[in-house]
Structure 1
Amino acid sequence: MVLIAVVGGTGLAGRAVVHHTVSAGHQVRSLSRHLPAMEQQIGGAEYVQADLRAGTGVTTAFAGVEVLIDTLNASSGASLRALPVTSGAVLNAAAQAEVRRCVLLTIVNAGECAMGYYQAQAARARSYEKSKLTTTVVAATQFHNLVAGIFAGGAKIGVIPAFMGVSVQPISTADVAAVLVAEALRGGRESEYVLAGGPAVHSMQELALMWKQATGSKALISPMPLPGSFDAFLRAGKN
């Protein structure tokens, strides 16, 4: 039975990976800076506290690990700026533990977007691609959760924002988790780059209507521009 370590296993994507790995009958160890409460833990998974940047708990966390999935994330501030460094520390720890494959979750075409969040994701991908370890970089399209969160946030003030000229190919976290685990278990010693996208491309207008119908929201769908470089990235279909 393969032991899979999930770095950032308590986050949105990480939790989905832990759940999928347990369901598939593999051993899984969730690594995070803080242990989740018992009621938030997934049955059958092992939870270990480790701080990759500080180097505390790392030896224990990586003991016996055969493959690794890096789902670390941060939205802003110092944590976001430190994200590429932390992923570098993950690779160093994996090398010391002789992990046979390391898999990274990132965003499709992240390097082509000027936003700091996307640039941090691109930097992480570069570190994996340049690593001497056997790696897979999984570049995913936007999660359903992100799109739904945009609509839900606007609906609180009565407006569902449908950004003009923007289309999305949303994917579920469960589907992304399945791709990540499959890549972790891939044989061979060649590094890989894999794209993971949802089953269909929809305009924001179409998705807003779907969301409104599904939730019963009374808010109005409002076409609106999205300012800045992120708008150019999306309107060019880079996402």
Structure 2
Amino acid sequence: MSFTLATWNINSVRLREPLVCKLLAEEGPDVLCLQECKSPVDKIPVERFHALGYEHMVAQGQKGYNGVAILSRLPLKDAGSRDFASLGHARHVAAKLENGVVIHNFYVPAGGDVPDREVNDKFGQKLDYLAEMRDAFHADRPGKSILVGDLNIAPREDDVWDHKKLLKVVSHTPVEVNAMAETQDAGGWVDVTRQDIPSGQLYSWWSYRAREWDLADKGRRLDHIWATPDISSAAHGSRVLRTARGWEKPSDHAPVFATFDL
């Protein structure tokens, strides 16, 4: 069985329903994981998605904030969700495909603007969230699983436009990068994107503040696809659909893709 998976922080699934449909129609991933849906589950516009062949969905919704959803052409079952760090946020949902693969869709807190939990509660929430993910993977080491989502951390020097300038900027600080590494190591997760594209600048997010975002190219790789070691070698074809950042009324994130032959 071969399937292609995409992950995309859509920044409001209702506002950007036409962009989701454009992606589904033109790129045709078998599974699309969305973050920051900003919608209760019953308000997600599933009718047009169904019409395009995406008849299956699991989701956790929240009015106006957060929210995660997994749309699929392939049958899947709800595999639960967890409220990491007890924030009361809709930031995680999991689904199981018929071949037994479990897909975890995460939206890790952004962490605010100041990288100091003593003066910025949001940064503390981010670190706590990652720590609980780490502990969960230690307690129940995942297998035959894929983890995707907006993890809000660009871990490598070539995942940001300027490593030195961003060392004190939330999303690339050493404390966040170390926390992410501990979480990744706890589950034995393999960074599929960098397995396929081992070197070179690679971004999935560009700020709305830069009108000439493409020309300035001051991006960060905040969106990730990981897999457990038992299936990571089956992954290939990783790419970022950079052009989606230039679509009309876009999200500030671009979709990230990978294909699995299982």
TM bin (shorter chain): 0.3 to 0.5
TM-score (norm 2): 0.42
TM-score (norm 1): 0.44
Which one has a larger percent helix, Structure 1 or Structure 2?
Answer: 1
Which one has a larger percent strand, Structure 1 or Structure 2?
Answer: 2
Q: Which of these two proteins has the greater Rg computed from alpha carbons?
A: 1
